[in-house]
């Protein structure tokens, strides 16, 4: 498949370690946030979402943290596996935007065996 992002920030992590991916957003009116995973040659795949009335949400091996004060979002992946290697995007949405998602620039995660 074709590479999704050739010049993205890259996070290299050892298999089994935890990964933390950070994202800054700019719109203080945003009230809904999503993390997507995109593998080469594929469309973005939903990982986890969070609403602005929450500061933490956990899924299977993933945790999203939201700090509205500094407009910062993070995704934590526990016990990173080779299948987690991909590009990760945060996206934000607000009521006025309808279904429009505004995506961040993305972070490439490389898992070393």
Partner 1 sequence: DAGVTQSPTHLIKTRGQHVTLRCSPISGHKSVSWYQQVLGQGPQFIFQYYEKEERGRGNFPDRFSARQFPNYSSELNVNALLLGDSALYLCASSLAWRQGALGLNTEAFFGQGTRLTVV
User: With helix as H, strand as E and coil as C, how does the chain read?
Assistant: CCCCCCCCCEEEEECCCCEEEEEECCCCCCCEEEEEEECCCCCCEEEEEEECCCCEEECCCEEEEEECCCCEEEEEECCCCHHHCEEEEEEEECHHHCCCCEECCCEEEEEEC
Residue 64 engages partner 1 in binding (rule: CB under 8 A): no
Residue 2 engages partner 1 in binding (rule: CB under 8 A): yes
Contact pick of 13, 73, 91, 111 for partner 1 (by CB under 8 A): 91
Contact pick of 26, 70, 83, 98 for partner 1 (by CB under 8 A): 98
Candidates 2-10, 14-22, 60-68, 77-85 — which segment interacts with partner 1 by CB under 8 A? Answer: 2-10
């Amino acid at each position: 498949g074709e590479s999704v992002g050739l010049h993205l920030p890259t996070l290299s992590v050892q298999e089994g370690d935890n990964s933390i991916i950070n994202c800054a957003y700019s719109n203080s009116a945003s009230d809904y946030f999503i993390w997507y995973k995109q593998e080469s040659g594929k469309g973005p795949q939903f990982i986890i979402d969070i609403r602005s009335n929450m500061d933490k949400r956990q899924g299977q091996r993933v945790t999203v943290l939201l700090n509205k004060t500094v407009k910062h979002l993070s995704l934590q992946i526990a016990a990173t596996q080779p299948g987690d290697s991909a590009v990760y995007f945060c996206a934000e949405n607000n009521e006025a935007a309808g279904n429009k998602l505004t995506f961040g620039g993305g972070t490439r995660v490389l898992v070393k065996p």
